[in-house]
Amino acid sequence: MRTILVTGGAGFIGSNFVRMVLEEHPDIRVVNLDKLTYAGNLENLEGYRDHPNHIFVKGDICDGALVESLISTYKIDAVINFAAESHVDRSLEEPGIFIETNVKGTLTLLKIALEKKLERFVQISTDEVYGSLGPEGKFTEATPLSPNSPYSASKASADMLVQAFGHSWGLRYNITRCSNNYGPYQFPEKMIPLMIHNALKDKPLPVYGDGMHIRDWLYVYDHCTAVWKVLTEAQPGRVYNIGGNNEKHNLDVVRLILKALGKPESLITFVKDRPGHDRRYAIDSSRIMAELNWRPSVSFEEGLSRTIRWYLEHSEWLNHVVSGQYQDYYKRMYSNR
């Protein structure tokens, strides 16, 4: 395999993946297709934009003619589809764009991947397609899909389309379903960077509901190494859960952030809960560990401290992304909670 098409490679996980590939796999050329929505940011690729193995293209995965020409021009071998609308709260406000990008955009990519007989199509999905857990048990790859938000419903739809293309026409695909990621370059609408940002500004930290919801956190670099293993070592048609075995209550994560920054717990503010808020996610990663020998390399304590340090050292990046539209979003989303 020589050239890969990474979609959404200017977003949080995509840009971490592109950097990892350029650093660690010098025989790979990356064509990076990203629409640069509010979540996509060329500053996420700082230092790598002009890398000789990196070609950045601003464009939409729904634009079939563009995708087709990129695949022909650059002789693409595989697609890794990170591009998505990715935030649950936004999907509750405006679900339509989630169908456009996450469902129709994926369908566009699938049709062309099949027609061009690509070696592999890797769909980056999420554990949220499985719905919510009670106090016991974990999601396995056999857990039925039961999405609860427009975001997770759009991701589950995309997963089913990918599987249908494999089943009906033999598309060589994999699907990865990862738990919540955190780390450098995450947009501060997601919990961890939002709480870090607010704490740094001595603003209230808005905890939804009782704060006892559980997420299973994975440092973003470890997600990237898992995707690389799936791309290069997995049998086609396999689905892989990816998780860090790091279940935490939201409130505990918020407390750790405050402690690390030397800020008082009085900044914690309980606000109105998210409608339909999934109570608990927990991932059983035993398949990827057994079949592909993948292991997470960063503990939660180490990952959180690296992440906080990164945000402290990148105040310019943070100031840029929270200017303008972000302020409107924040007012809209949090003023009536």
Binding at 138: pick from ligand TYD, ligand NAD, none (beta carbon under 5-8 Å per type): none
Residue 317's binding partner among ligand NAD, ligand TYD, none (Cβ under 5 to 8 angstroms by kind) is none
Q: How far is the CB of 275 from ligand TYD (least distance, A)?
A: 12
Question: Which amino acid, 277?
Answer: H
Other CB atoms within 10 A of residue 160 CB: 14
HSE-CB for 221 with a 13 A CA cutoff:
16
Is 128 tagged catalytic? yes
| CB 262, min distance to ligand TYD, A | 21
Task: Give the single-character DSSP code of 182.
Answer: E
From 25-33, 39-47, 203-211, 287-295, give the range in contact with ligand TYD by CB under 6 A: 203-211
Q: Is 127 marked active-site?
A: yes
Query: Does position 13 bind ligand TYD by CB under 6 A?
Result: no
The dihedral through the CA atoms of 309, 200, 299, 13 has a sign that is: negative
The yes or no reply on residue 243 touching ligand TYD (CB under 6 A) is no
- Report d(CA 79, CA 6) in Å as an integer: 6
Q: In angstroms, how far apart are the furthest CA atoms of the chain?
A: 57
State yes or no: residue 246 binds ligand TYD (CB under 6 A).
no
List the x/- string, 80-119, binding to ligand TYD by CB under 6 A.
--------x-------------------------------
Q: Least distance in Å: CB of 262 to ligand NAD? A: 27
Q: Report whether 28 contacts 53 (CB < 8 A).
A: yes
Cβ 127 vs Cβ 281: under 8 Å: yes
- Packing angle of the helix pair 12-24, 220-233 (nearest 10 deg): 60
Look-up of token digits 């990076």: 32
Q: Alpha-carbon distance 90 to 93, whole Å?
A: 5
- Closest to ligand TYD by CB, 48 vs 139, is 139
Among 38, 74, 208, 329, binds ligand TYD (CB under 6 A): 208
- Residue length, the chain? 337
Residue with smaller CB distance to ligand NAD, 60 or 267: 60
Here's the x/- map for ligand TYD, 170-189, by CB under 6 A: it reads as: ----------x---------
CA angle 98, 320, 265 (to 5 degrees): 85
Residue 250 lies near ligand TYD (rule: CB under 6 A): yes
Query: What does 281-320 look like in DSSP terms, one character per residue?
Result: --B--HHHHHHH-----S-HHHHHHHHHHHHHHTHHHHHH
Q: Is 206 in the site for ligand TYD (CB under 6 A)?
A: yes
Shortest spacing between CB 223 and ligand NAD, in angstroms: 7
Write the CA distances from 268 to 203, 213, 254, 260, 300, integer angstroms: 9, 15, 8, 15, 21
**Sequence-ordered list of residues with C-beta below 8 angstroms from that of 318, at least 6 positions apart, any chain:** 188, 197, 311
Residues that bind ligand NAD (CB under 6 A): 7-8, 10-14, 33-37, 39-40, 60-62, 82-86, 101, 105, 124, 126, 155, 178, 180-181, 187
**What is the spatial distance between Cα 171 and Cα 235, in angstroms, rounded to a whole number?**
12
**Residue 198 · residue 267 · CB < 8 Å:** yes
Stretch of 22-30, 58-66, 206-214, 258-266 contacting ligand TYD, by CB under 6 A: 206-214
Q: Shortest Cβ distance from residue 168 to ligand TYD (Å)?
A: 31
User: From ligand NAD, ligand TYD, none, which one binds at residue 8 (CB under 5 to 8 Å depending on kind)?
Assistant: ligand NAD
Q: Which residue is nearest to ligand NAD (CB)?
A: 11
- Binding residues for ligand TYD, rule: CB under 6 A, are 88, 180, 190-191, 194, 206-208, 213, 215, 250, 274
List active site positions: 127-128, 151
